[in-house]
Amino acid sequence: MEKNDSIWLKSSENGRKFRTLDQNIETNVCVIGGGITGISTAYYLAKEGKKVVVLEKDRIGSKTSGGTTGKITSQHHLFYDYLIHSQNKEFAKKYLKANEEAIKNIENIIKTEQIECDFERKSAFVFTQNLGKLQMINAEVDAVKSLGKKVNFTNEIEVLGKIEGAIEFENQAQFHPVKYVNGLAKSVLENGGEIYENTKVVEYEKNEDGFVVMAESEGETRRISCQFVVVATRYPIFNVPGFYFLKMYQELEYGIAIKADVDLKGMYVSCEVPTISFRDYEENGQKYVLIVGNGHKTGEKVENNGFEVLENFAKTYFPNSEIVYRWNAEDAIGLDKIAYIGEYSEVRENMYVATGFKKWGMSSSNVAANLITDKIMGRENPYEAIFNSTRLEPIKNHEEMKNMLKEVGESMIMPRLNGEKGKKYCAHLGCEVSWNDVTKTWDCPCHGSRYEQDGSLIEGPSVHDLN
């Protein structure tokens, strides 16, 4: 097994490859990032008749989208009680509605475009085996019911048997995310869009006519002239304006797929720490269970092997199983836990962003694609205020803000003040990177950029190799 051997990427590795950009071009909309959010946005815009170009530095769907569990759900862990108390009930109700609509939208796209991506409706559960967490489950049940959505409480689920409690959202869904992204990409091309892989965006300029995006490919810098820019890179790669590095952090999670002859009726995630999420999948008659979790802030020193918790879970509940895939994936999380979708900045007209999905990107990507498409097409969107990307509210997550500032101080400032030699510094904003002995990568604890052992860039926000 390779160190980042995702079941989704391996089972679709013979899919269509896209050429590298080899010249300067012009377009209406330049979408930066070929994950599920970027390709979904390109899909909607191409359907609207816009000339769209997608630029992806690796292969489409190969990073976070290729490492997800593939759950399409409005159940974003235990979240609605938090939303009601941190915002208000009407806010929480709109958030719920936006994500419920996203599930239906994705199902309609799959049917319309005839995308074979193993879509199926299933219930989603958040469960606990810890009596001390039961109050949180009960509070979430009450919160969601108060929003008008039917939910169920149970103290028994398949595989695990008796538990302390779980909240069930019925009629959610799961699918193969990379097959879905590839299906969307096919439609983008059929509707006049263009997709380029191995084309890394490094900078942009604003001019009177719109923007010029600069991308590196084949050792050359290509220039893409456009009216609109959409930054869909999971974590925004442009620091100014927007300053997203001040209001987000990244987490790294681990995943395994095991051969197990089971058919699960639902999709499951625990509310304990470390978190465990699992679901089933079948490919060519072979049944698998995906087990994902044990996440931590990128660059953070952790005691256990990232995969050990997942493997122990597999041995306990699927004793006759065989581990066949291992991988890791990263996602961005806003300090108030709500995604940033909309204008990149109040001072940068016609530039848009979608980020901070906190590991629930399957539904959030569709919410973002619709919202940004409406903005570009000049239409009102009912959820614009919910995900307002330029919001400047008091930070409610004081503990995480304190931790972020501490990491920046320890990683960016102190090593330089102390004149420490032999350190490696991130090419993004100069934080000292740490070595992850599980993934064999250099990880930045400040903003989550990751590098191979030789210093070559894996994931941003950095756009350059390790210093």
Are residue 274 and residue 154 in the same domain, yes or no? yes
Please check whether residue 213 is in contact with residue 201, taking contact to mean a CB–CB distance below 8 angstroms.
Answer: yes
Q: What is the model's pLDDT at position 402?
A: 56
Q: What is the model's pLDDT at position 406?
A: 55
**Which are the contacts of 168, defined by CB distance < 8 A and separation ≥ 6?**
123, 124, 125, 151, 152, 153, 154, 266
Length in residues, the chain: 467
Q: What is the DSSP string of 373-391?
A: HHHHHT---TTTTTTBTT-
In a domain, residue 433? The reply is yes
In a domain, residue 43? The reply is yes
In a domain, residue 57? The reply is yes
Are residue 239 and residue 276 in the same domain, yes or no? no
pLDDT at 414 over 50: no
pLDDT tens digits, 451-467:
999 999 999 999 999 97
When pLDDT is cut at 50, 70 and 90, the band that residue 410 belongs to is low
Q: What is the model's pLDDT at position 89?
A: 98
Which three-class secondary structure string do you get for 395-427?
CCCHHHHHHHHHHHHHHHHHHHHCCCCCCCECC
In a domain, residue 383? The reply is no
Are residue 228 and residue 362 in the same domain, yes or no? yes
In a domain, residue 110? The reply is no
Q: What is the model's pLDDT at position 303?
A: 75
Task: For Cα atoms 389, 392, 394, give the angle at the middle one, nearest 5 degrees.
Answer: 130
Q: What ranges in 147-197 are assigned the alpha helix state H? A: 177-190
Q: What is the model's pLDDT at position 408?
A: 54
pLDDT at 1 over 60: no
In a domain, residue 28? The reply is yes
Q: Do the bridges between strand 286-297 and strand 228-231 make them parallel or antiparallel, or are there none, so unpaired?
A: unpaired
The CATH number of the domain holding residue 36 is 3.50.50.60
The CATH number of the domain holding residue 167 is 3.30.9.10
pLDDT tens digits, 346-402:
999 999 999 999 999 999 999 999 999 999 999 999 999 999 999 876 555 455 555
pLDDT at 172 over 70: yes
In a domain, residue 82? The reply is no
Mean pLDDT of the chain: 93
- Residue scoring higher pLDDT (246 or 369): 369
Are residue 329 and residue 361 in the same domain, yes or no? no
Q: What is the model's pLDDT at position 2?
A: 55
In a domain, residue 384? The reply is no
- Residue scoring higher pLDDT (409 or 226): 226
Please check whether residue 107 is in contact with residue 173, taking contact to mean a CB–CB distance below 8 angstroms.
Answer: yes
pLDDT tens digits, 65-115:
999 999 999 999 999 999 999 999 999 999 999 999 999 999 999 999 999
Q: What is the model's pLDDT at position 101?
A: 98
Q: What total of structural domains would you count in the chain?
A: 3
What range does the domain containing 288 cover?
Answer: 118-174+254-334
Are residue 305 and residue 170 in the same domain, yes or no? yes
Are residue 328 and residue 341 in the same domain, yes or no? no
Are residue 155 and residue 21 in the same domain, yes or no? no
pLDDT at 404 over 60: no
* Segment (H or E) for 331: strand 322-334
Report which DSSP code applies to 257: E
Please check whether residue 384 is in contact with residue 342, taking contact to mean a CB–CB distance below 8 angstroms.
Answer: yes
Q: How far, CA to CA in Å, does 72 sit from each of 33, 226, 361?
A: 20, 32, 8
pLDDT at 448 over 80: yes
Are residue 312 and residue 323 in the same domain, yes or no? yes
Q: What is the model's pLDDT at position 15?
A: 78
Are residue 260 and residue 330 in the same domain, yes or no? yes
When pLDDT is cut at 50, 70 and 90, the band that residue 281 belongs to is very high
When pLDDT is cut at 50, 70 and 90, the band that residue 412 belongs to is low
Are residue 313 and residue 418 in the same domain, yes or no? no
Walk across the sheet containing 348-355 and list its strands: 194-196, 52-55, 29-32, 228-231, 348-355, 340-345
Are residue 349 and residue 362 in the same domain, yes or no? yes
Please check whether residue 123 is in contact with residue 167, taking contact to mean a CB–CB distance below 8 angstroms.
Answer: no
pLDDT tens digits, 17-76:
999 999 999 999 999 999 999 999 999 999 999 999 999 999 999 999 999 999 999 999
3-class SS of residue 458: strand
Q: What is the model's pLDDT at position 187?
A: 98
Are residue 216 and residue 360 in the same domain, yes or no? yes
Q: What is the model's pLDDT at position 403?
A: 58
When pLDDT is cut at 50, 70 and 90, the band that residue 14 belongs to is confident
Percent of the chain having pLDDT more than 70?
93
When pLDDT is cut at 50, 70 and 90, the band that residue 302 belongs to is confident
